[in-house]
Structure 1
Amino acid sequence: MLFHYKRKLVTASLTLILAGATVSTAMAANPGQATEKGASSANAPITASVVLRVHNPEALENFARDVSSPGTSNFRQFLTTEQFAAKFGASNEEISRVTRFLQRNGIQVNEVASNHLLIKASGTAAQFNAAFAIGLRDYVRNGRVYHRPDHNPSYPAELADVVTHVSGLSNESFRTPKNHRSLSQPDFSATSNFVRSATASTGGSPKVTFGTPLTVFDVANIYDINPLYAAGINGAGSTVGIVTLADFNPSDAYAYWTMIGLPVKSNRILDIPVDGGGQLSADAGSDETTLDVEQSGGLAPQANIRVYEAPNTDSAFIDAFNQAISDNVVDSISTSWGQPEVFLFPTLFDGNIDNRGEFAAFHQLFLEAAVQGISLFAASGDSGAYDTNRDGAPFPFFSKVLTVDHPAADPAITSSGGTTLPYSHIFRGATVPFVVPTEEVWGWHGLQDYLNTKAGRNVDLFSAGGGGGVSIVFQEPFYQFFTHGIRKTEPNQNWVDIADGNIELLKLPANFHGRNQPDVSLNADPEVGYFVYTTLPGEGSIQAGGTSFVAPQLNGITALLKQADHRRIGFWNPQIYLLQNAVGYGGSFSPFHDITHGDNWFYSGIAGYDDGAGIGTLDVANLALWLNAF
């Protein structure tokens, strides 16, 4: 995957830039690379989504800012999907132009999205090859067969000013769920383990008991949600949305709520398959979808839940967001799936194919959500400051490099980070306890050192921790301009294939003023993690953590805030950064707790904003008061 500078990827008005990244021309054969099987069969069925450009992109950026920023004349003057389509979507003439082109090449048009941003189409490999001057080829990686083009598609002159991206020409995806299991699972034999009460101190550092999994009751206690429940705020009249890449059993969520003794609204879950829906298995990530529903629906027990579940491909992920946002029924959406943003650059993964048009495709959808008042949340990742490094080793066999996760890196979504709650525990083989004295940035750096020196475990936990850092794609957004602690990209960040002779694959830009993430955090450490119930084979009751829990928790919290405020909250970031700058921390009315300890293997918790925990954690009752005052 070599860079092609001849083609401009995205418009400047969408604030997506390349920031000077360069890549070598050397290709590497390594354990993570795919095996080519040859040209795709001419009759192979192909489904794709033609993503259309928004009109007036600069005006869309400005309106998304104003509608989300307190004090502007447009604040919370949200649009309907139809109003968005008329103001910013492709025109009927442009849609007809694309439709005629596809049909002329024998490709069937299946659906035109109501927001006028996407056309779903299907045909054969031969038809797509001819239409976009490509050659689709089949590959196998890790036992999965997929197809991708042999070079970038070409758009004829009639489409050049209309089409942003054609997703589906490649159906491979590197997106993974963002959850981790605890190192030592607790005993689930006693029902009392499922119902527990944690106590938050005045300093915002809750007291928890190690070995007893947390439930949504604990989240409510720790982050001061109970005053809303006491006032009758339970999510009634709100609808939460979940975008996911795996199927699940809705009965598992109802069973979880029953097991912890939480009354919920009946028949509240609507499962909406997109592009055929996702797979149902632990390997496919169904436990992720399950916990998303259990957590969001548990914190907002009377809210409705719409689950948009799609296959794990790039095009299906776009399609699922497109449907959830253009349906415009949900008040908030969370996703706990993502991939390192550098994976969308042309690197060794996809030969010479440039996937960066996906940045624009997602970003304009997220802007649509903002102007329609839909709050968006994405897990920041569970690989600390090194998003390409996973499961104790570089992924796959690459150098350690500071990277962030997408879509959380997009400036039009709220990136949901992770902390560790205070606990003390003597792990097996040790004689002294491992102590976390106060809520801190989640990163297993200190735990690894403890296990190796005190327990003789010789473990490698790098780089498990809350995702965070600086984007090399997205510029620093307006809401971070006046926030103390915002950083630039670090120097000497070169992505190197260490398995095949230290071949440099990507040189990341230094000193780039990029979007910083996460934005806000909650507990995500699996060692003080959450009870998850699922009937998936080999699963059952588990304790897990990860920023996968934080995104749906913020989703459920938004349902409560919407009910309390009698209107949609909209895009969080301009509002919470304004509050952080104006109100700060401490006192009885601050909506935030500052996280000043711990690290995610590179970024440490400091006073104010940091790339470990963002603004910090929440006092939800206080946040509700401030949002209501806007």
Structure 2
Amino acid sequence: MLWNLHRKTLAASLAVLLTSVSAGASAADVKAATDTGPANNSQIINVTLVMRLHNQEQLENYIQQTVTPGNANYHRFLSTSEFAGKYGATDAEVAQVQNFLKQNGLSGTVLANRMAIRTSGTMAQFSAAFKTPIHTFTSKDTGRSFHRPTQSLVLPNELTNSLLFVSGLNNEHKYASHAIKSVESRQAAAGTKALARSTLTAPSSSNGNPTATGTPGEFTVGDVANMYNINPLYAQGVNGQGSTIAIVTLSNFYPSDAETYWNGIGLITKPNRITQIHVDGGGAFDGGSGETSLDVEQSGGLAPFADVLVYDAPNAGNGFTDAFMQAVVDNKADTISTSWGLPEIFNFAALNVPGASNTDTTDVGDLQTFHQILLEAAVQGQSTFAASGDSGAYDTVRDLGVGTGPGTYNAPLTVDSPASDPYITAAGGTTVPFTYRFHHNGVAGPYASITKEQIWGWDYIQNYFDKNFGKGLIDLFSVGGGGGVSVYWQTPAYQWFTNGIRRSEKKQTLTYIDPVAGAQTQLVLPGNFHGRNVPDLALNADPETGYIVVSTVDGGVITGYGGTSFVAPQLNGISALLTQSTGHRVGLWNPQVYFLQDAFGYGKWSAFNDIREGDNWFYKGKNGYEPGAGIGTLNVTNLALLLSVF
């Protein structure tokens, strides 16, 4: 299972990309915004200084050894202190940063992994320390105000080699949760009835789960257990006992939501199992709170006796990376998931001119910060999962929209981050078999059915409306399971021998139609790039075959909810079951599952189900891997058996 990245090529790329430490002016540069002048100098902000890891090639080699059966270091995961000693910043490097902060009237706390130093101070202090003005901007798209530096940071020479990224000076980032409502729920909110369900069916195992409903749109974790053969593990007493799950999220929630959900479906769980950890002051009770609730309900429902840690942080600036890093530094969780993300290209700050042959990116600090965090998680044996997004193969559409008129963007093929990082397992989406019937203006269309599990893409609904009611009545582009090819991370070795791995498509650009200047190409994406393919695995995510959620903030019990937001925590819960069944942490899934698929393929005893139908608006289902459902869905009991053998 050779698995190292194309190290030399990647290192050369990073040498160009990371020419200077930047403040994180990323999504703001591809989203139109107006500079409204200097920010409030007296405002207190939290800033994280991220240190470069040492011996990263050695670290990557060691991670591979921990998941290679027969290797002397197989499952010899490191503690946080061991990681810090081998790969973290040195005493001298930490002292230099602390001295720099002290000279500017600041002080910092060094995290146990020696990868980051957290500090806080006024906007004026940080502006003076890094010799850059910090201004307030207003988004032309949303009207939201945010602050960010107006030029690159200036650092003392002694810090330029040891400091990777200064996170928190820019709070423009607003990550999206990857949860989405069904078509009928959307139109019901608008006062129209879109869908009338017939008797619907879903695949089930021979041993039905008593907490399942069998009703698409009202599925529970019991239905997930039926679909993906988890019940035999439950019958053996595997319920997550002794394992710990972590959820990284950007909204607060009421733990009672999860208890209400589990009790409501008749699921027996370990009592008092949820612990909240508020990072940087914690997340707000807002539109993302339902995301946090469903993450806990799904992961904790599939592993009902696992402990659950919920790390929440503000949805801006360094909140996301701080929360994820805290979950890894604490090293209490065996498995971690997040259902939040942004299009990968939003981390590319420098804007290209039309005709450029490659991306010229000088700010990839968030990508590199997440990468270091995920490397630490992997070497500590923590399995990590991220939702791949809900905009199909066109990840920018949900954030930017799409159009051809003034004030609109086009839709390049793009993937979501952090799911695109090679050291996290990207969770894609499918639609399970069901029968449906839509209405328009009181007229019922014909019944139609999906007979085989397929890649989730709502073009099947779009086509239904176009065919039966007329074109132009509904626009669902590009709702579906995220997937595609990274244009930053190169193809990891675990995908080298996998049938179906793709390169990036040519002639992909991010273009904005300015009301005055006309079409302006803001990013030219590299074509034919040997990039990391996502997702890795998939489970049912289509809201039409979706789930019940309990969320107090959203009004209580919700049905017809879906998105890859469900798949990431479901894999998280499954990973907790595997931790118990194997008797140890599983570690990074990717090299292990690709090896099993490459070696054994599909069939009765395989851990995977091949998805050969459907599409995510670009990548179609076929034999083997495809950037829609990855290597397929899971047979969890078979996966547990194979992992115990190897």
- Same-fold call, TM cutoff 0.5: yes
5 Å-filtered alignment, 1:467-478, equals 467-478=482-493
- Residue 516 of structure 1: CA displacement? 0.3
2:501 maps to: 486
Kindly state the Cα deviation for residue 71 of structure 1 after the two structures are TM-superposed. 3.6
* Aligned counterparts, 1:172-571, within 5 A: 172-185=172-185, 199-200=203-204, 212-281=217-286, 283=287, 285-346=288-349, 354-390=362-398, 393-394=401-402, 397-428=408-439, 429-456=443-470, 458-500=473-515, 501-538=518-555, 540-571=557-588
Opposite residue 409 of structure 2, the aligned amino acid is F
Which residue of structure 2 lines up, in the alignment, with residue 134 of structure 1?
Answer: 132
**Alpha-carbon separation, structure 2, partners of 1:549 and 1:360:** 26
Moved over 3 A (4+): 11-21, 28-32, 196-199, 207-212, 352-355, 537-540
Is the CA contact (8 Å cut-off) linking 1:516 and 1:611 kept in structure 2?
yes
Q: Runs of 5+ in structure 1 lacking a partner?
A: 1-10, 22-27, 188-192
Shift of 1:34: 2.1
Judge conservation of contact 1:68–1:370 (CA < 8 Å) in 2. no
Give 1:145 shift. 2.5
The answer to whether the 8 Å contact 2:42/2:122 transfers is yes
Q: Does the 8 Å CA contact 2:110/2:118 hold for their aligned counterparts?
A: yes
2-side partners of 1:82 and 1:391: how far apart? Answer: 39
* Farther off after superposition, 139-148 or 604-613: 139-148
Q: Structure 1 pair 353/480, CA: closer, same or farther in 2 (3 Å)?
A: closer
Comparing 402-411 and 443-452, the one that deviates more: 443-452
Tell me the CA shift for residue 339 of structure 1.
0.2
Distance across 2 between alignment mates of 1:380 and 1:338: 8
> Shift of the alpha carbon at 1:156?
1.4
Partners of 1:364 and 1:165 lie apart in 2 by 11
Number of the residue aligned with 1:122: 120
* SS of equivalent residue, structure 1 residue 614: coil
The equivalent of 1:24 in structure 2 is none
What amino acid maps onto 2:292 in structure 1?
T
**How many Å separate the matches in 2 of 1:16 and 1:48?**
29
| Residue 158 in structure 1 maps to residue 173 in structure 2 | no
Residues 255-264 or 540-549, more deviating: 540-549
Aligned to 2:73: 74
C-alpha distance in 1 between matches for 2:57 and 2:400: 42
Q: Distance in 1 between matches of 2:138 and 2:361?
A: 17
CA deviation map 1:341-362 (0-9, x unaligned): 100101579xx99431221111
Q: How far apart are 1:435 and its partner, in Å? A: 1.8
Shift of 1:382: 0.3
Deviation at 1:425, TM superposition (A): 1.1
Match of 2:506, as an amino acid?
Answer: P
For 1:606, the equivalent position in structure 2 comes to 622
Q: 2:623 & 2:94 partners in 1: Cα distance? A: 51
In structure 1, the residue matched to 2:47 is 48
Find the residue that maps to 1:531 and give its secondary structure: strand
Deviation, structure 1 residue 42: 2.6
Residue type of the alignment partner of 1:485: G
Query: For residues 373 and 175 of structure 1, do their structure 2 counterparts lie closer, same or farther at Cα, with a shift above 3 Å needed?
Result: same
Q: TM-score, normalised on structure 2?
A: 0.88
2:96 — aligned with what? Answer: 97
Paired letter, 1:450: Y
CA distance in 1, matches of 2:477, 2:619: 14
Secondary structure at 1:298 match in 2: helix
CA shift in 2, pair 1:13/1:413, >3 Å = farther
Aligned-pair identity (%): 50
Aligned partner of 2:591 in structure 1 is 574
Q: Are the equivalent residues in 1 in contact too, given 2:252–2:283 (CA < 8 A)?
A: yes
Query: RMSD between aligned alpha carbons?
Result: 2.6
User: Which amino acid is the alignment partner of residue 384 of structure 2?
Assistant: L
State the TM-score, normalizing by the size of structure 1: 0.90
Does the residue aligned with 2:498 lie in a helix, a strand or coil? coil
**Structure 2 partner of 1:626:** 642
Name the amino acid aligned to 1:443: G
Matched residues in 2 for 1:178 and 1:15: separation? Answer: 31
Query: Helix, strand or coil: the match of 2:53?
Result: coil
Question: Separation in 1 of the partners of 2:15 and 2:469?
Answer: 44
Pair 1:583-2:600 in alignment? yes
Q: How far is 1:48 from its partner?
A: 0.5
| SS at 1:410 equivalent | coil
1:64 alignment partner AA: I
15 and 475 in structure 1: CA distance in 2 versus 1, 3 angstrom threshold: farther
Could you give the per-residue CA deviations for residues 17-66 of structure 1, whole angstroms, max 9, x where no partner exists?
A: 47999xxxxxx999952232211133222220000011111111211222
CA contact (8 A) 1:14 1:61 kept: no
* TM superposition shift of 1:451: 1.6
CA distance, structure 1, for counterparts of residue 466 and residue 328 of structure 2: 47
SS of 2:620 mapped into structure 1: coil
What is the number of equivalent residue pairs in this alignment?
A: 597
Amino acid at match of 1:599: D
SS of 1:137's equivalent in the other structure is strand
Q: CA deviation at 1:393?
A: 3.5
Amino acid at match of 1:248: F
Q: CA deviation at 1:154?
A: 1.9
**Is the Cα contact below 8 Å between 2:243 and 2:306 reproduced in 1?**
yes
Q: Which structure 2 residue ranges, 5 or more long, are not aligned?
A: 1-6, 18-26, 189-196, 207-211, 353-359
Q: Which residue of structure 2 lines up, in the alignment, with residue 8 of structure 1?
A: none
- Separation (CA, whole Å) in 2 of partners of 1:113 and 1:19: 26
Change (3 A) 1:20 1:461: farther
- 2:146/2:170 contact within 8 Å kept: yes
After superposition, give the CA deviation of every residue in 1:204-251 in whole Å (9 maximum; x if it has no partner): xxx996655100000001000000000000000000000000000000
Are residues 224 and 304 of structure 1, via their aligned partners in 2, closer, same or farther at CA, if it must alter by over 3 Å?
same
Q: Deviation of residue 330 (structure 1)?
A: 0.2
- 1:199, distance to aligned residue in structure 2 (A): 3.9
| Worse-matched range after superposition: 478-487 or 124-133 | 124-133
Secondary structure at the counterpart of residue 498 of structure 1: strand
Which residue pairs with 1:6 in the alignment?
none
How far apart, CA to CA, are the structure 2 residues paired with 1:140 and 1:293?
Answer: 34
Contact 1:179 1:545 in 2 (8 A): yes
User: Structure 1 residues 453, 30: closer, same or farther in 2, change over 3 A?
Assistant: farther
Q: What's 2:20 paired with?
A: none
CA contact (8 A) 2:80 2:113 kept: yes
Shift of 1:454: 1.2
Most deviating of 227-236 and 37-46: 37-46
Aligned residue for 1:121, secondary structure, equals strand
Listed one character per residue, the Cα deviations across residues 5-28 of structure 1 (whole Å, up to 9, x for unaligned) are xxxxxx96976947999xxxxxx9
Structure 1 residues 208 and 300 mapped into 2: Cα distance closer, same or farther (>3 Å)?
A: closer
Distance in 1, Cα, partners of 2:461 & 2:384: 32
CA gap of 1:16–1:306, structure 2 versus 1, over 3 A, is farther
